[in-house]
A = this chain, B = another copy of it.
Amino acid sequence: MSDAQLEPARRSAGPYHHGALRAALIAGAREILRERGHDAFSLNELARRIGVSPAAAYRHFENREALLRAVSFEGYEELHAALTRPMAAGLDPGSRVIEIGVRYVAFSADNADLFLTMFRYRPIRPGETVTVDAFAPLMEAVGAAQATGQLPAGETRQIALVIWTSLHGLTVLYLNGALTALGLIESPYEAARTSLQIQFPGLKP
């Protein structure tokens, strides 16, 4: 691999990014999201960092929102990857459900501003399926846990929805400080585990 392929955005060799500007914009946006928080993102600051004029971004994205939707798209791909990453061998389906829940919370805590961007600017384009894909691993594990009797019978989508919404609520309330302000939880990971076990006692192996 040449240097140009490795770090195209870092090379201040010239005013042109050889078509890699799009990728550089997305990477830079994620950097700003991490450093400044998701409400403080600025397209002008992004252009300044990359060493390009603000107008240059408009060759690759319709507007600020479209750029953030592309960032969001990456987020869904990475969330899906995190949820499908191999687990400890021989885990029963119920434990797999819990593990997916903990991973969801962990992803949101480790990528707080990316996570919040993902739900503020959902990636309508270029494929709505990324959001469906991210939901699929939970669906699969819930179905398996129903088969072993660790989760109640009934529509798999319904049970998976309950689990997802409850994890999501826990996460966003934790991220904006509501839960710690009320002295309700310490660790979001422990809270996810105990919440799931209170809702579905059968999840314990």
Contact = CB atoms under 8 A, between A and B. Distances in A.
Given A119-B178, A177-B122, A178-B131, A199 B162 contact: yes
Interface of A is mostly: helix
Contacts of A162: 166, 195, 198-199
A152 interface: yes
Interface string A177-200: 111011011000001001100111
A31 B67 CA distance: 29
A157 interface: yes
A170 B172 contact: no
Interface in A128-152: 128, 131-132, 135, 152
Contacts of A157: 184
A154 interface: yes
A127 interface: no
A203 interface: no
A20 interface: no
Contacts of A131: 178, 181-182
Contacts of A199: 162, 166, 199-200
A122 B191 CA distance: 22
Contacts of A119: 172-173, 176, 178
B198 A185 contact: no
B158 A169 contact: no
Contacts of A177: 122
B120 A181 contact: no
Given A161-B195, A198-B159, A168 B176 contact: no
7 nearest CB pairs, A to B: A169-B169, A166-B166, A165-B169, A168-B169, A165-B170, A199-B199, A162-B195
